[in-house]
């Protein structure tokens, strides 16, 4: 078998989503941005032959004008590529610096399922790029390599390990950075102390980041999304967290954060998603949370909150997701409607202390309430597991009995059928 041109691998796709989000930033060259809107206008000139050859070298089909499927400028006599998406690259694939130099007009590049080792990117390209994405693709990424893309607005790495002693190595030169996602990239070290005030989206979830959340983070007035889920963060939340008044999503779940929920969070009036689950948070749950009009997702499970749950059933029902189980010193004031929600925490006695044991939870709960562990006040983490198992065990026999019954009746039916068939 000869290594012929792989026909099925490369897709060159228009990245309008990314390019439209970058439109707001200062144009690299007036010519490029002014005319990027009409990629397939018939009167437009064809793609630069050098770039055409570079695409062919990358095994990207060029029988059709690439500018019909990808973003190009409208320069004359030849147009130039502005965005490139490499998907499902063949194993033998190699990027070359020469090819990348030819493609240095790109402002956006995406690698998706292209398991290729990184190579040197020519500085003309690193300077031009506004958007860099690698999803399960580039191998041997380093912080130093990424730090060269100092004009990025958007950086998105998912599933590709990055070797860097800290995130600041990557971001400290990126003066225009607006969104950054470094998800599942094996990053270690501490969170940066200096943040670009233009940031609107930060997702560092599923890494190995340690240390506490720096107060300097709360200077990000434009921040919409903050996701530090699944790291090794410790310490208390900065008191000034409420200064993040543009925040819509705050996800800090699965860390080892502790202390109370800061009262200042009450000033984040547009908060939609609050996930503090699986940490060591303590104190009472503040009442102001029930005043947060936009809130749809509230996860406080598996923490150490105590006292009386300050929510009524109508507030909880308004949420899409509400999780509270695994807080063993927390209880709810008795009411029929709260009882019906099977919250997974104990009822309060008249002193506001949990009564044991928690209500049985063998009825399936509604979709917006998590069926979780019980609220035994003496419980530890093991208890949650035990009780979760119990929930399954409780439900188990019914399913088994039902299954056996169905199987038996099916067998009886088949036997009768065979006997009848035989007789006939």
Question: Which residues lie near ligand NAG (CB under 6 A)?
Answer: 183, 205-206, 227, 229-230, 249, 251, 273, 290, 312, 314-315
Q: CB of 106: closest distance to ligand NAG in angstroms?
A: 28
Contact between 252 and 276 under an 8 Å Cβ cutoff? The reply is yes
Contact between 160 and 142 under an 8 Å Cβ cutoff? The reply is no
Cα separation, 73 vs 295, whole angstroms: 43
Q: CB of 266: closest distance to ligand NAG in angstroms?
A: 13
Q: CB of 43: closest distance to ligand NAG in angstroms?
A: 43
Q: CB of 335: closest distance to ligand NAG in angstroms?
A: 9
Cα separation, 370 vs 322, whole angstroms: 7
| Beta carbon nearer to ligand NAG, 137 or 278 | 278
Q: CB of 253: closest distance to ligand NAG in angstroms?
A: 7
Contact between 258 and 282 under an 8 Å Cβ cutoff? The reply is yes
DSSP annotation of 258: E
| Beta carbon nearer to ligand NAG, 137 or 207 | 207
Q: CB of 227: closest distance to ligand NAG in angstroms?
A: 4
Q: CB of 276: closest distance to ligand NAG in angstroms?
A: 12
| Beta carbon nearer to ligand NAG, 151 or 254 | 254
Specify the residue for token string 């029930």: 290
Q: CB of 202: closest distance to ligand NAG in angstroms?
A: 11
Cα separation, 232 vs 211, whole angstroms: 7
Cα separation, 217 vs 244, whole angstroms: 9
| Beta carbon nearer to ligand NAG, 151 or 253 | 253
Q: CB of 270: closest distance to ligand NAG in angstroms?
A: 14
| Beta carbon nearer to ligand NAG, 110 or 253 | 253
Cα separation, 390 vs 136, whole angstroms: 39
Q: CB of 393: closest distance to ligand NAG in angstroms?
A: 28
| Beta carbon nearer to ligand NAG, 301 or 376 | 301
| Beta carbon nearer to ligand NAG, 114 or 226 | 226
Q: Which of these, 117, 160, 108, 118, lies nearest to 136 by C-alpha position?
A: 160
Contact between 224 and 246 under an 8 Å Cβ cutoff? The reply is yes
User: Which residues contact residue 208 at a Cβ distance below 8 angstroms, ignoring those fewer than 6 apart?
Assistant: 186, 187, 188, 231, 232
| Beta carbon nearer to ligand NAG, 203 or 377 | 203
User: Which residues contact residue 344 at a Cβ distance below 8 angstroms, ignoring those fewer than 6 apart?
Assistant: 301, 324, 325, 326, 358, 361, 370, 371, 372, 373, 374, 375
| Beta carbon nearer to ligand NAG, 249 or 353 | 249
| Beta carbon nearer to ligand NAG, 62 or 184 | 184
Q: Which of these, 251, 161, 164, lies nearest to 213 by C-alpha position?
A: 251
Cα separation, 197 vs 171, whole angstroms: 12
Q: How many CB atoms lie within 10 A of CB 350?
A: 8
* Residue 251 φ then ψ, to 5°: -125, 115
Tokens of 128: 């031009």
* Residue 57 φ then ψ, to 5°: -60, -35
Comparing every residue's Cβ against ligand NAG, the nearest one is: 205
| Beta carbon nearer to ligand NAG, 206 or 306 | 206
How far apart, in Å, are the Cα atoms of 126 and each of 67, 213, 243, 328? 22, 31, 34, 53
Q: CB of 230: closest distance to ligand NAG in angstroms?
A: 5
* Cβ burial, residue 315 (10 Å; 0-12/13-18/19+): middle
């Amino acid at each position: 078998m000869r290594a012929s041109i792989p026909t099925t691998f490369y897709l060159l796709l228009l990245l309008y989503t990314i390019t439209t989000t970058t439109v707001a930033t200062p144009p690299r060259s007036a010519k490029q941005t002014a005319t990027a809107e009409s990629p397939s206008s018939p009167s437009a000139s064809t793609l630069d032959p050098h770039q055409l050859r570079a695409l062919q070298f990358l095994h990207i089909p060029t029988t059709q004008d690439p500018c019909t499927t990808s973003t190009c400028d409208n320069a004359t006599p030849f147009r130039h590529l502005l965005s490139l998406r490499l998907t499902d690259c063949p194993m033998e694939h190699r990027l070359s610096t020469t090819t990348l130099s030819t493609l240095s007009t790109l402002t956006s590049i995406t690698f998706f399922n292209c398991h290729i080792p990184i190579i040197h990117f020519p500085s003309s390209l690193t300077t031009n790029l506004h958007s860099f994405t690698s999803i399960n693709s580039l191998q041997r990424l380093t912080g130093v390599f990424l730090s060269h893309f100092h004009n990025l607005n958007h950086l998105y790495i998912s599933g590709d390990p990055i070797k860097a002693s800290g995130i600041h190595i990557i971001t400290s030169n990126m003066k225009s950075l607006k969104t950054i996602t470094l998800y599942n990239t094996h990053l270690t070290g501490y969170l940066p102390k200096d943040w670009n005030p233009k940031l609107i989206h930060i997702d560092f979830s599923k890494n190995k980041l340690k240390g506490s959340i720096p107060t300097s983070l709360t200077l990000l007035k434009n921040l919409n999304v903050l996701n530090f889920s699944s790291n090794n963060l410790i310490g208390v939340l900065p008191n000034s967290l409420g200064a993040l008044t543009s925040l819509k999503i705050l996800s800090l779940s699965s860390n080892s954060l502790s202390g109370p929920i800061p009262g200042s969070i009450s000033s984040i009036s547009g908060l939609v998603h609050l996930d503090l689950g699986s940490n060591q948070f303590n104190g009472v749950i503040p009442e102001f949370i029930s005043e947060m009009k936009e809130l749809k997702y509230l996860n406080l499970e598996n923490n150490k909150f105590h006292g009386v749950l300050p929510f009524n059933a109508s507030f909880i029902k308004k949420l899409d997701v509400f999780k509270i189980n695994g807080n063993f010193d927390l209880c709810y004031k008795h009411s029929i409607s709260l009882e019906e929600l099977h919250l997974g925490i104990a009822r309060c006695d008249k002193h506001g202390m949990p009564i044991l044991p928690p209500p049985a939870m063998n009825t399936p709960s509604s979709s917006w309430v998590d069926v979780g562990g019980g609220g035994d006040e003496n419980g530890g983490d093991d208890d949650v597991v035990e009780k979760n198992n119990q929930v399954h065990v409780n439900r188990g026999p019914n399913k088994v009995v039902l299954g056996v019954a169905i199987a038996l009746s099916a067998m009886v039916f088949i036997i009768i059928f065979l006997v009848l068939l035989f007789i006939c």
